[in-house]
Amino acid sequence: MTEKEKLLAGEIYDATDPNLMAELAVARELIFDYNALRPAEKQKKLEILKQLLGFVGDDHVIINQPFFCDFGKNIRVGCRLLANFNLTILDEAPVTIGDDCFIGPNVGLYTACHSTDPVVRNSRQEWAKPIRIGNNVWIGGNVTILPGVSIGDNTTIGAGSVVTKSIPAGCIAVGNPCKVVKYLSDKD
């Protein structure tokens, strides 16, 4: 297997692989161009997003600048996404964001995993786990979503939360670590 095939399969891969580094460089150029556009250049922004990302659901996707990601091609966004300033997505594994999602400012979605053993970590051997965000999800500002997490449809993640485990559909979840505090079917 190539290092890219290992990366996409969730296996341990060499993060310093020249082919992966070349892909990162291409994405960084597109991100630079995207972040340098004037706010009114909406069509150019959409064109770059369609080049950079693996899939863009429709023409009503808004990702405010600045925006940062690693490869870009591993990100799929549905229709009518609204993402605020400073969205960072480390997309070593697939990141899927459903339709009608709102993402607050300073949110980080991280698929990359590193060993806690410093010797192994310094070898630049990594692996990644996908992130899936359902439809109609609202992610508050300053939220961190860690590798392997899924967030169900119609869920709200409160500002400042650190999502370490998957969160079910139809709830409000908050905290560090993020936990369900209310289901939408609950009476007030």
Catalytically active residues, by annotation: 114
- The residues pairing with 109 across neighbouring beta strands, listed in sequence order, are 89, 145
Please give the DSSP secondary-structure letter assigned to residue 152. -
Q: Which residues contact 47 (CB under 8 A, 6 or more apart)?
A: none
Range 1-21 burial, b when 16+ CB lie within 10 A, else e: eebeebbbebebbebebeebe
Residue 82's nearest CA partner among 139, 27, 36, 37 is: 139
**Helix, strand, or coil here: 148?**
coil
Residue 97's nearest CA partner among 70, 61, 67 is: 61
Answer for the pair 45, 34: CB distance below 8 angstroms, yes or no: yes
Neighbours of 48 (CB within 10 A): 22
